[in-house]
């Protein structure tokens, strides 16, 4: 709860500072409000965003709900406005960031923690794959998953982000040659992802998908060097796509994805692996780092879940 209140305090100060800058600095007004009249916006935003955030910082929970709800509403409105008019793109980005921060802070204020277990519930809950399916079936399912995930997370979503970046006029010129570097990095990272997927589906008796997890602890291929090669590959792929598209927002999207995976998904995944494989996984986790590959691989081996 303390961190949630601290966030609302920072948000209140930042909001007040921004409203002081709007009438004093024309470039701030143009970048964040475009052609909007600041007076009616201020009449609503000052009490519902700045004041409500300040009250939430002092521990008044209803004001945290008000501030978070208003921030989400304004973020949606600013995204629509910036997309239609091509103005106030920096305002849309700022409000999207504020909406995400407010939502996280609201969880801390109301329940004292982030309910990360929601992300591995329902269809995304960890379940071992059917033992009746053969290796070819697992490989085919893995390739289908790769097609869907790469198409969405490395194709469609970055395309939309880069399109909005240019439409909102928040694009920044990147140094020349980074697009070529991005192609090389994308090819290498994709190779690592395919190698990891092949090792998982042929040696693990399952797939990388949470709903069809491997039945064996896979310590083969790239898993002998780094504990999460598929996640590492995916993050590097996303950053490479950002370089190819000359989009700093796509690179940021990849970095934010790494934070979400590392702090939200990974703890639940590793808890599931420890529950199913016990000391074998614990020893592997202690020997192989999550992100930084080893110079010398650990011995290849595997053990069925009990």
Q: What is the DSSP string of 142-157?
A: HHHHHHHHHHIIIIIH
Q: How far apart are CA 213 and CA 130, in angstroms?
A: 9
Q: How far apart are CA 49 and CA 15, in angstroms?
A: 7
pLDDT at 134: 85
122 by Cβ neighbours in 10 Å (0-12 / 13-18 / 19+) ranks as exposed
103-158: pLDDT as tens digits: 999 999 999 988 888 887 777 788 888 877 888 998 999 999 999 999 999 999 99
pLDDT over 70 percentage in the chain? 98
8 Å CB contact between 240 and 182: yes
pLDDT at 194: 96
Written as tens digits, the pLDDT of the chain (306 aa) is 789 999 999 999 999 999 999 999 999 999 999 999 999 999 999 999 999 999 999 999 999 999 999 999 999 999 999 999 999 999 999 999 999 999 999 999 999 988 888 887 777 788 888 877 888 998 999 999 999 999 999 999 999 999 999 999 999 988 889 999 999 999 999 999 999 999 999 988 888 888 888 888 999 999 999 999 999 999 999 999 999 999 999 999 999 999 999 999 899 999 999 999 999 999 999 999 999 999 999 988 654 443
Residue 301's SS3 state is strand
Q: How far apart are CA 161 and CA 152, in angstroms?
A: 12
pLDDT at 301: 64
pLDDT at 80: 98
Residue 304's SS3 state is strand
Q: pTM for this one? A: 0.91
Residue 249's Cβ-side half-sphere holds a number of Cα atoms within 13 Å equal to 23
Q: First vs last Cα of the chain: how many Å apart?
A: 39
Place of tokens 């399916």: 133
265-284: pLDDT as tens digits: 899 999 999 999 999 999 99
pLDDT at 208: 85
CB atoms within 10 A of CB 136: 10
**How far from chain centre, in Å, is Cα 265?**
10
| Structural domains for the chain | 2-114 (no CATH), 122-287 (1.20.120.1630)
pLDDT at 306: 37
Residues pairing with 140 in the sheet: none
pLDDT at 209: 83
């Amino acid at each position: 709860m303390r961190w949630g209140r601290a966030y609302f305090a920072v948000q209140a100060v930042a909001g007040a500072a921004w409203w002081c800058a709007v009438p004093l600095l024309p470039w701030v007004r143009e970048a964040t409000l475009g052609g909007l009249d600041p007076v009616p916006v201020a009449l609503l935003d000052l009490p519902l965003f700045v004041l409500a955030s300040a009250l939430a910082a002092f521990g008044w929970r209803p004001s945290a709900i008000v501030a978070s709800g208003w921030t989400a509403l304004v973020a949606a409105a600013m995204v629509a406005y910036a997309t239609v008019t091509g103005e106030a793109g920096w305002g849309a980005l700022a409000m999207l960031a504020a909406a995400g921060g407010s939502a996280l802070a609201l969880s801390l204020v109301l329940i004292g923690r982030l309910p990360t277990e929601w992300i591995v519930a329902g269809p995304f809950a960890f379940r071992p794959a059917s033992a009746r399916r053969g290796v070819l079936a697992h490989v085919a399912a893995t390739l289908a998953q790769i097609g869907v995930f790469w198409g969405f997370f490395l194709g469609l979503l970055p395309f939309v982000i880069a399109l909005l970046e240019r439409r909102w006029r928040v694009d920044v010129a990147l140094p020349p040659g980074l697009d070529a570097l991005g192609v090389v990095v994308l090819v290498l990272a994709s190779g690592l992802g395919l190698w990891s997927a092949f090792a998982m589906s042929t040696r693990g008796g399952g797939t990388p998908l949470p709903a069809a997890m491997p039945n064996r602890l896979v310590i083969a291929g790239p898993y002998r060097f780094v504990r999460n090669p598929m996640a590492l590959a995916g993050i590097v792929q996303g950053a490479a796509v950002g370089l190819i598209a000359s989009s700093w927002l796509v690179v940021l999207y990849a970095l934010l994805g790494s934070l979400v995976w590392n702090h939200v998904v990974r703890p639940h995944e590793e808890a599931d692996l420890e529950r199913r494989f016990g000391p074998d996984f614990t020893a592997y986790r202690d020997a192989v780092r999550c992100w930084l590959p080893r110079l010398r691989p650990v011995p290849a081996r595997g053990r069925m879940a009990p």
